[in-house]
């Protein structure tokens, strides 16, 4: 019996069965045997519309559902199961949560109630190198149960209609809207938001069975019994490359114990390990990582998942009147599995953008695609993803990734909080990246020579293109901002496009981070 079988079968619920179910999905993705569903069809007729927005999927869908219902739109939300947050906290930074108050979705008191944990500092530590400490980054644990319940009540108060235990099974795109079908329910809407996650059947149809360009595998637990549980690790390594993977660790104090994750970046090659294999390694290495024996721990729950990432992200809408949001939209960087954080970062922009699209009736595919614009600061992170992973047949120095990351993070520490903090929150800015590259090259002039064979020249050239685009976006954003008073005088449709252009420059250059008000 493996450690995984032994420990997971003693936990409440049926985590082992669930792990094997997710593993079967991961295997079919690696082997390219996933069927491509046909859930969306097209017809040219017009329909009588009863809804402004129908949201499919309630986890992150309720965030936009509450915001749009509050603005007076007729919103329905269809959820396959019961709309309830998961037991495990979402980690995020405090200032990011303020958007709920700014959008008047939560009062300060309600926001405080959603915060289950708060800790400091957090460590970044790579095998064989001195650690770096940061404060106030991803150090807040949000309770998804409380957050989703509070937002659900707001949604209902503002006239939103919730359909639970109602799996969406089809959508017909017409000349003026969409008919959404879910069992015996048929809802005719001006706009459909697909919030059904990474494995949304609509996304699978839109991507036509394409294999992801990269995957992040994550396994972990929440457990009691650790002797030290007041600070966290944002990223740590304790081993060299093994099984063609660099293993990374994360640890956070949780409300009912300590959460520890093992994660790794790879491609979807058929020979890549299963989540169950990764879990075996997690249990084997956890004692060394946290200086604890497994017998000391009382495991509360198992946590696991895999996150497919596509270079073509965010996903552009494939049909009129259908917009992916949340994980289905692929809005987070390939380095992050913080899809909640990515949604929070874009919540204000998406709320005002969807509101403007509904007001100006610009709901066709091209107009909606402006809500998921090209973002060079997301695209540059592909190089980092590649430099933190190893090809299935590649031979590199087993300590190369550890050494590279130690050098880069020490350079960022030298440059200070304005450089390191946005990066750790998934926001890449041109000046911070430029300074980091300069500082790293100063301390290690040969670093590029080591990376090129690992990531390959095409990846590097592709990265250069996005790096230049990042510089251009950063340079153009002040111009777009200065034009804002003029944009406000435009009629609704051109204004919709101009505002989306300005936001693309702002978010694509990381200027949404911090106090920028533009
Ligand atoms: C182990 C782990 C740890 C994580 N930690 C963090 C973290 O610390 N911070 C962070 O920011 N993020 C974290 N995340 C990511 C975060 O949980 C996801 O980004 C978030 O749950 C995505 O929400 P979503 O609504 O887009 O998709 P999902 O969570 O996949 O939810 C999809 C929703 O759609 C519903 N649905 C699916 N199909 C249908 C259908 N046919 N009809 C109707 N409804 C349907 C589902 O029931 C579900 O409610 C973590 C994820 C994992 C796995």
Backbone angles phi, psi at 262, to 5 degrees: -115, 125
Tell me what pLDDT residue 126 has.
Answer: 97
Tell me what pLDDT residue 445 has.
Answer: 87
- Provide the 10 A C-beta neighbour count for residue 374: 15
Kindly state if the Cβ of 195 falls inside 6 Å of ligand 1: yes
Pick 366 or 334 by higher pLDDT. 366
Instruction: Identify the domain containing residue 341 by its residue range.
Output: 40-119+139-209+316-363
Given a cut of 80, whether residue 59 has pLDDT beyond it is: yes
Kindly state if the Cβ of 56 falls inside 6 Å of ligand 1: yes
**Residues 466, 376: Cα–Cα separation, whole Å:** 5
Kindly state if the Cβ of 337 falls inside 6 Å of ligand 1: yes
Average pLDDT over every residue of 210-223: 96
Tell me what pLDDT residue 428 has.
Answer: 94
Average pLDDT over every residue of 318-344: 93
Closest CA to 349 of 318, 325, 382: 325
Pick 5 or 444 by higher pLDDT. 5
- Inter-axis angle of helices 61-70 and 339-360, to 10 degrees? 30
Tell me what pLDDT residue 514 has.
Answer: 73
Kindly state if the Cβ of 212 falls inside 6 Å of ligand 1: no
Kindly state if the Cβ of 233 falls inside 6 Å of ligand 1: no
Give the count of domains, the chain. Answer: 3
Average pLDDT over every residue of 41-56: 97
Average pLDDT over every residue of 191-196: 98
Q: Domain check: are 63 and 177 in the same one? A: yes
Q: Domain check: are 178 and 268 in the same one? A: no
Tell me what pLDDT residue 518 has.
Answer: 43
Kindly state if the Cβ of 170 falls inside 6 Å of ligand 1: no
- Beta-carbon contacts of 477 under 8 Å, excluding residues fewer than 6 positions away, are 502, 505, 506, 509, 511, 518
Given a cut of 60, whether residue 516 has pLDDT beyond it is: no
> Looking at ligand 1, which atom is closest to the CA of residue 58?
49
Tell me what pLDDT residue 469 has.
Answer: 98
Instruction: Assess if residue 326 is contained within a domain.
Output: yes
Q: Domain check: are 237 and 272 in the same one? A: yes
Q: Domain check: are 173 and 48 in the same one? A: yes
Extract the tokens encoding 139: 């150090």
Q: What is the pLDDT of residues 415-429, one digit of tens each?
A: 999 999 999 988 999
Pick the last residue of a domain from 267, 284, 309.
309
Give me the CATH number covering residue 99.
3.50.50.60
- Inter-axis angle of helices 417-424 and 430-443, to 10 degrees? 110
Average pLDDT over every residue of 166-180: 98
Local structure of 40: helix, strand or coil: strand
The pLDDT > 70 percentage for the chain reads: 99
CA-to-CA dists, residue 5 to 14, 18, 210, 262, angstroms: 11, 12, 32, 17
Tell me what pLDDT residue 170 has.
Answer: 97
How many whole angstroms from 336 Cα to the centroid of ligand 1? 14
Query: Residue 337 — very low, low, confident or very high, per pLDDT cuts 50/70/90?
Result: confident
Q: What is the pLDDT of residues 79-136, one digit of tens each?
A: 999 999 999 999 999 999 999 999 999 999 999 999 999 999 999 999 999 999 999 9
Given a cut of 80, whether residue 517 has pLDDT beyond it is: no
Give me the CATH number covering residue 238.
3.30.9
The pLDDT > 90 percentage for the chain reads: 93
Instruction: Assess if residue 517 is contained within a domain.
Output: no
Q: Domain check: are 200 and 343 in the same one? A: yes
Average pLDDT over every residue of 148-155: 98
**Residues 382, 462: Cα–Cα separation, whole Å:** 9
> Looking at ligand 1, which atom is closest to the CA of residue 168?
42
- Beta-carbon contacts of 464 under 8 Å, excluding residues fewer than 6 positions away, are none
Instruction: Assess if residue 487 is contained within a domain.
Output: yes
Average pLDDT over every residue of 188-210: 96
What average pLDDT does the chain have? 95
Query: Residue 515 — very low, low, confident or very high, per pLDDT cuts 50/70/90?
Result: low
CB 134 within 8 A of CB 421: yes
Q: What is the pLDDT of residues 5-30, one digit of tens each?
A: 999 999 999 999 999 999 999 999 99
Pocket probe for ligand 1: among 64, 80, 138, the residue whose CB has the most ligand atoms within 8 Å is 80
Q: Domain check: are 204 and 217 in the same one? A: no
Kindly state if the Cβ of 478 falls inside 6 Å of ligand 1: no
Query: Residue 332 — very low, low, confident or very high, per pLDDT cuts 50/70/90?
Result: confident
**Residues 427, 413: Cα–Cα separation, whole Å:** 16
CB 25 within 8 A of CB 268: no
Pocket probe for ligand 1: among 77, 78, 197, 275, the residue whose CB has the most ligand atoms within 8 Å is 197
Local structure of 463: helix, strand or coil: helix
Tell me what pLDDT residue 333 has.
Answer: 86
Tell me what pLDDT residue 56 has.
Answer: 98
Return the ∠ at Cα 6 (arms to 287 and 301), rounded to 5°: 70
């Amino acid at each position: 019996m493996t450690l995984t079988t032994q420990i997971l079968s003693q936990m409440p619920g049926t985590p082992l069965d669930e792990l094997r179910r997710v593993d079967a999905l991961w295997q079919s993705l690696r082997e390219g045997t996933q069927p491509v569903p046909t859930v969306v069809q097209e017809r040219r007729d017009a329909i009588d519309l009863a809804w402004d927005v129908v949201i499919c999927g309630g986890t992150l869908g309720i965030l936009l559902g509450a915001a749009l219902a509050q603005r007076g739109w007729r919103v329905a939300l269809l959820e396959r199961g019961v709309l309830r947050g998961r037991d495990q906290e979402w980690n995020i930074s405090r200032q990011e949560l303020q958007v709920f108050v700014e959008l008047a979705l939560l009062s300060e008191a309600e926001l405080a109630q959603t915060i289950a944990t708060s800790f400091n500092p957090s460590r970044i530590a790579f095998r064989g190198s001195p650690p770096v400490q940061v404060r106030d980054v991803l150090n807040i644990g949000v309770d998804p149960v409380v957050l989703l319940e509070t937002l659900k009540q707001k949604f209902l108060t503002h006239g939103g209609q919730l359909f639970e235990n109602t799996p969406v099974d089809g959508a017909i795109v017409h000349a003026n809207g969409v008919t959404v079908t879910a069992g015996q329910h048929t809802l005719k809407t001006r706009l459909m938001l697909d919030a059904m996650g990474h494995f949304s059947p609509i996304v699978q149809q839109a991507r036509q069975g394409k294999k992801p360009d990269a995957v992040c595998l994550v396994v972990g637990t929440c457990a009691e019994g650790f002797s030290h549980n007041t600070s966290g690790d944002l990223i740590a390594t304790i081993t060299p490359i093994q099984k063609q993977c660099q293993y990374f660790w994360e640890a956070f104090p949780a409300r009912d114990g300590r959460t520890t994750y093992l994660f790794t970046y790879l491609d979807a090659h058929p020979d890549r390990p299963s989540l169950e294999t990764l879990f075996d390694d997690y249990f084997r290495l956890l004692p060394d990582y946290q200086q604890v024996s497994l017998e000391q721990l009382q495991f509360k729950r198992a946590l696991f998942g895999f996150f497919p990432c596509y270079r073509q992200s965010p996903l552009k809408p494939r049909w009129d009147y259908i917009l992916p949001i949340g994980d289905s939209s692929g809005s987070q960087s390939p380095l992050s599995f913080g899809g909640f954080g990515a949604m929070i970062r874009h919540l204000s922009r998406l709320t005002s953008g969807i509101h403007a699209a509904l007001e100006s009736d610009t709901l066709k595919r091209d107009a909606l695609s402006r809500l998921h614009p090209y973002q060079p600061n997301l695209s540059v992170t592909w190089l980092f993803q590649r430099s933190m992973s190893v090809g299935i047949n590649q031979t590199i120095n087993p300590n190369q990734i550890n050494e590279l990351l130690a050098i880069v993070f020490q350079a960022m520490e030298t440059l200070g909080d304005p450089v390191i903090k946005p990066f750790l929150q998934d926001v890449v800015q041109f000046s911070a990246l430029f300074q980091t590259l300069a500082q790293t090259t100063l301390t290690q002039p040969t670093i590029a020579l080591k990376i090129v064979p690992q990531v390959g020249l095409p990846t590097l050239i592709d990265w250069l293109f996005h790096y230049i685009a990042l510089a251009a976006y950063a340079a153009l954003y002040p111009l777009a901002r200065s034009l804002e008073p003029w944009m406000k005088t435009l009629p609704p449709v051109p204004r919709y496009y101009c505002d989306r252009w300005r936001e693309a420059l702002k978010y694509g250059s990381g200027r949404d981070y911090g106090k920028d008000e533009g």
